[in-house]
Structure 1
Amino acid sequence: MQATSTNQMTKKEWLLERRKGIGGSDVATILGFNKYNSPYQLWLDKTGQIDIDDTDVSEAAHFGNILEEVVAKEFTERTGKRVRRANKIFRHAEYPFLNANIDRDIVGEDAILECKTASTYLSDRWEGEEIPEQYICQVQHYMNVLDKQYAYIAVLIGGQKFVWKKIERDQELIDIIQDRLVEFWEVNVKQGIAPAIDGSDATEEYIKERYANSEAGKEITLNKAFDDLIAKRAELNGTKKIVEESLKEIDNQLKSELGEQNAEIGITPSYLISWKPIETTRINTKKIKKEAPELFEQYSSTSKSRRLSIKEIK
């Protein structure tokens, strides 16, 4: 196993080094567990098609970095196990593009510690033996790269609840993860073959931002494959309409039953149904524009986006 020290690296140098391989935070994206990023976006990054973003991180990531030390110290307090920073990017012995940047080593044990913070709203994902799937995959990846038999994960939930767990090596899962990561690197990155563009919100937002501008009036010719794609879209839209109408039919049956008895809550053997009034306040922009145009101009803003529309050629 090889390792590169990160002690003297700037943030941009560290990000450039990460681009040379697949790290722990990339695993969930490649496996489809990351709702904030997609394999397509990651491929663009790893192939250098987008600029390195070394700007300030999000608030959540910022405080996650700060609280990492707090979580590590609390783990030591509760378990008696001493930990230390590694400050290295570790590389897999057989596949050096598989990397691990671990949070802490466990002193005196052949194990590592991964430190996390989580929102109170996600506390149920840490109940009992539960661990979010993206973190299980990340830690198993680390155990694979560093050839460890077990690891610990500690999390501070909502700033007031601390949980730590031991994770045993799962070789079957590691093999599945490794095969997928190796395929992504060898096929998608090295051969420059883009992963399929998926339907995730992350991909939609990225395409919207990346291709926000266009050359006015420019036309291109698309091949027959796009006719097939549009036909499939039309078929799915038909199915979507049937599903939506079926859902509305069920909702209307439930509302009708509650309405007949002037009730807001219904209880079945398995479910609690609620149909309560909700007050919503909206600004009447049409009225403001008509009666106070200067005020409307002062506080309104114009956004620009591209709208996709499809019309059959007859």
Structure 2
Amino acid sequence: MFNLDTKVDPNVKENRHKFVGGSDIPTILGINKYKTQFQLAQEKLGIKPSEFHGNEYTEYGNALEPQIREYINVVNDTHFSPDTRIDYDKHIRSNTDGYDPEHQGILEIKTHGKNLNTKPYIAQMQLYMYQFDVDWGWLALYERPDNFDATFDASRLKIEVIDRDEEYIQHILDAIETFWIRCEYLKEKPNMTEQEFMGIGQNELTIVAKQVEKLEFDLLKYKEIEKHYKDMKQRLYELMEEYDVKKWETDHIMITRILPGKRESFDSTRFKKEHPELAEQYKKISKTTGSVRIKLKEAN
């Protein structure tokens, strides 16, 4: 029998609530019969604790995974090893059972019983292929014996080749984005019903408005950085002038001091005031497109 003390990589557990992982994808897509998207969101936000902390099936999988990976590498001369990719902007983290940088493929290992459904596994692999930027993956399916014997038996192993599906990947990314938008609303109203939760995002206006809101805050941060950048450039100019430095090089950039000069411009305001009739003759009227005005509310 396998060791129930098999340790899980701490990377899999660390900050789990901040990211969507491969195991969450079936739930977000609605193909996980054990958990709903609403329940997953409550767990991510800490509204309700996760009730699943592993069982004999997951422990068995942890025990067999390294044996299966080693066998596949030896037989096929591959170099699969566990690896992780994180997208902090999209809040996605992929922990694959194996990534082979030489052959540019991934490996996903699953131990299973008699009733096998590969749809959730394929969904996970599509996300992994996207994050690892590969075009194929191997789905290693190992049928679990009734007595949970952890001695590896090659006759129980079957490998399916899974090709990258761009349309499916986009569907997954869209679903993840909608999920996080719903989580934002759930954070503001933690007592909402599941029906209310799932209704968020079905209206395209809701999705786009939430995206614009996030971008407004990103833009605000950018403006602060831009102001700091301009101040530092001015200070740099003053120091170069003080020490009479014309050029300054670093490993990545070359800085050149530009001497003060003159620039000509047309004073249209004065021209319109002094020659209103002539200015009227050259007036040009152009159509403008409709737009929206966005203003950030002051924090209470």
What TM-score, normalized to structure 2?
Answer: 0.53
Correspondences of 1:291-302 after superposition (within 5 Å): none
Residue 82 of structure 1 deviates from its aligned partner by 2.1
| Number of residue pairs the alignment of both structures matches | 176
**Is 2:101 the partner of 1:103?**
no
Q: Who is 1:49 aligned against?
A: 47
Task: Find the aligned partners of 1:114 and 1:135 in 2 and give their Cα distance.
Answer: 8
Correspondences of 1:23-172 after superposition (within 5 Å): 23-51=21-49, 55=53, 57-86=54-83, 88=84, 90-92=85-87, 95-119=89-113, 121-122=114-115, 125=117, 132-159=118-145, 160-172=155-167
2:177 to 169, 174, 182: 182
Asked if structure 1 preserves the Cα contact closer than 8 Å seen for 2:136 and 2:161, the reply is yes
Q: Give the direction of change, closer, same or farther, for the CA distance of 1:175–1:63 in structure 2 (3 Å limit).
A: same
Asked if structure 2 preserves the Cα contact closer than 8 Å seen for 1:76 and 1:83, the reply is yes
> What 5-or-longer segments of structure 2 have no aligned partner?
1-7, 146-154, 197-300
Q: Which AA in structure 2 matches 1:109?
A: H
Task: Find the aligned partners of 2:42 and 2:21 in 1 and give their Cα distance.
Answer: 15
Identity over the aligned pairs, expressed in percent? 26
Residue 91 of structure 1 deviates from its aligned partner by 1.8
Tell me the SS of whatever aligns to 1:85.
strand
What TM-score, normalized to structure 1?
Answer: 0.51
Correspondences of 1:240-255 after superposition (within 5 Å): none
Asked if structure 2 preserves the Cα contact closer than 8 Å seen for 1:24 and 1:138, the reply is yes
Task: Find the aligned partners of 1:26 and 1:177 in 2 and give their Cα distance.
Answer: 11
Q: Which AA in structure 2 matches 1:122?
A: N
Q: Which AA in structure 1 matches 2:130?
A: N
Q: Who is 1:207 aligned against?
A: none
Asked if structure 1 preserves the Cα contact closer than 8 Å seen for 2:129 and 2:136, the reply is yes
Please report the RMSD computed on the Cα atoms of aligned residues, expressed in angstroms.
2.6
Task: Find the aligned partners of 1:104 and 1:18 in 2 and give their Cα distance.
Answer: 20
Q: Which AA in structure 2 matches 1:177?
A: I
Q: Give the direction of change, closer, same or farther, for the CA distance of 1:166–1:181 in structure 2 (3 Å limit).
A: same
Residue 195 of structure 1 deviates from its aligned partner by 7.3
Task: Find the aligned partners of 1:54 and 1:122 in 2 and give their Cα distance.
Answer: 21
Question: Using CA pairs below 8 Å that are at least 6 residues apart, which structure has the higher relative contact order?
Answer: 1
Residue 108 of structure 1 deviates from its aligned partner by 1.1
Tell me the SS of whatever aligns to 2:35.
coil
Q: Give the direction of change, closer, same or farther, for the CA distance of 1:54–1:138 in structure 2 (3 Å limit).
A: closer
Asked if structure 2 preserves the Cα contact closer than 8 Å seen for 1:105 and 1:112, the reply is yes
Q: Which AA in structure 2 matches 1:112?
A: I
Q: Give the direction of change, closer, same or farther, for the CA distance of 1:148–1:156 in structure 2 (3 Å limit).
A: same
Q: Who is 2:263 aligned against?
A: none
Larger Cα Rg: Structure 1 or Structure 2? 2
Q: Which AA in structure 1 matches 2:37?
A: P
Residue 173 of structure 1 deviates from its aligned partner by 0.7
Task: Find the aligned partners of 1:47 and 1:112 in 2 and give their Cα distance.
Answer: 30
Task: Find the aligned partners of 1:114 and 1:14 in 2 and give their Cα distance.
Answer: 15
Task: Find the aligned partners of 1:155 and 1:190 in 2 and give their Cα distance.
Answer: 37
Task: Find the aligned partners of 1:140 and 1:73 in 2 and give their Cα distance.
Answer: 23
Task: Find the aligned partners of 1:22 and 1:84 in 2 and give their Cα distance.
Answer: 21
Q: Who is 2:151 aligned against?
A: none
Q: Give the direction of change, closer, same or farther, for the CA distance of 1:195–1:99 in structure 2 (3 Å limit).
A: farther
Residue 157 of structure 1 deviates from its aligned partner by 1.2
Q: Which AA in structure 2 matches 1:181?
A: I
